[in-house]
Chains A and B, each alone.
Chain A
Amino acid sequence: QKEVEQDPGPLSVPEGAIVSLNCTYSNSAFQYFMWYRQYSRKGPELLMYTYSSGNKEDGRFTAQVDKSSKYISLFIRDSQPSDSATYLCAMSGNAGNMLTFGGGTRLMVKP
C-alpha cells in the first residue's frame, strides 16, 4: 500500500463547477501538507501549503486537512478551463523531512 493515495482520475467537470480533490495517507507523523498543480509537460508549481489540521483559503482554492481521518482535500470554486491540469498532493513529517507525493489527479474543466 502506498503511503499517500490519490485517485488518478481523470476528473471531468463543466466550467463553473466546484471541484473536490482528495488524498488519503497512512503516516500519522505527517503534519506539513501541500498541493501542487502541474500542467502537461511542465514542472509542478505550489498552490497551497498548510500545517497541521484546519482550512486555508486562497482565492478560489481552499485546502482542508483532517488529521484524525488522515485525509486532505483541495476545493476549487468556479472552476475554469485554465484549471485543467494534474494536481499532486505532497506531505511530510517534521521540517527537514523529504516530501512524499501522491500519484496526482488529472482534472479536465470543459467550457
Chain B
Amino acid sequence: DGGITQSPKYLFRKEGQNVTLSCEQNLNHDAMYWYRQDPGQGLRLIYYSQIVNDFQKGDIAEGYSVSREKKESFPLTVTSAQKNPTAFYLCASSIVAGTASEQFFGPGTRLTVL
C-alpha cells in the first residue's frame, strides 16, 4: 500500500526534552511538509522540503528542526526551545512543492508535554 506513515501515534515529552517525530512516504513524492494543528486554528506550516538535502522554514519554524537525508523520510525534532509544543502534528507529501498537486497527509502524531 502506498501512503504516508507517522510514528509514534502518541508521544509524551517532559520539560526540557527534545523529541523526534518520524514521517515516511513510499509515494515517490519530491515534496514533504510538516504542519501543526491546534483546536480551532487549522493547520500551520512548520517546515517543508522540495528536494533531498534542502528544506525551508514555514510560518512557525521556531523551536523545530528537520532533516531530509532521504527522499522518503522527513523527521521533525521538537526542541526544548518550543515553549508550547502540545499539539497534533501532521506530515504531508506532494509530487512537487506547492499547490498544483494534491497534498497527501499521514495519520498524525499527538504530542503532549507533561
Binding site for B on A (CB under 8 A): 4, 6, 8, 32, 34, 36, 41-46, 49, 88, 90, 92, 95-99, 101-104
B98 touches A98 (CB 8 A): yes
In the assembled complex, the CB of A33 is this many whole angstroms from the nearest CB of chain B, namely 10
Q: List 10 A-B contacts (CB under 8 A).
A: A32-B100, A43-B4, A43-B92, A43-B106, A44-B90, A92-B99, A97-B99, A98-B48, A103-B40, A104-B40
Cβ distance A2 to chain B, nearest Cβ, rounded Å: 8
Indicate if the CB atoms of A41 and B108 lie closer than 8 Å: yes
Contact of B103 among A46, A95, A96, A103 (CB under 8 A): A46
Q: Which residues of B contact A42 (CB under 8 A)?
A: 107-108
Q: Provided the pairs A45-B105, A97-B99 are in contact, do residues A88 and B42 lie with their beta carbons within 8 angstroms? A: yes
With the chains together, A97 CA to B103 CA distance in Å?
13
Tally A-B pairs: CB < 8 A. 58
B-side interface residues toward A, CB under 8 Å? 4, 40-45, 48, 58, 90, 92, 97-100, 102-108, 110
If the complex has contacts A98-B45, A101-B43, are A46 and B106 also in contact, measured as CB distance less than 8 A? no
Separation of A49 and B103 alpha carbons in the complex (Å): 11
Known: A32-B99, A95-B99, A96-B100. A43 touches B40 (CB 8 A): no
* Residue from B48, B98, B107 having most chain A Cβ neighbours under 10 A: B98
Residue of B with least CB distance to A100: B42
Whose C-beta in chain A lies nearest to the C-beta of B94? A99
Question: CB distance B102 to A46 under 8 Å?
Answer: yes
Q: Let me know if A97 and B110 touch, CB within 8 A.
A: no
| Complex partner residue of B97 from A46, A96, A104, CB under 8 angstroms | A96
The residues of A that contact B100 with a CB separation of less than 8 Å are: 32, 95-96
Interface centre among A43, A44, A45, A92 (most CB of B within 10 A): A43
Chain A residues with Cβ under 8 A from B108's Cβ?
Answer: 41-43
A96 to B40, CA, bound (A): 26
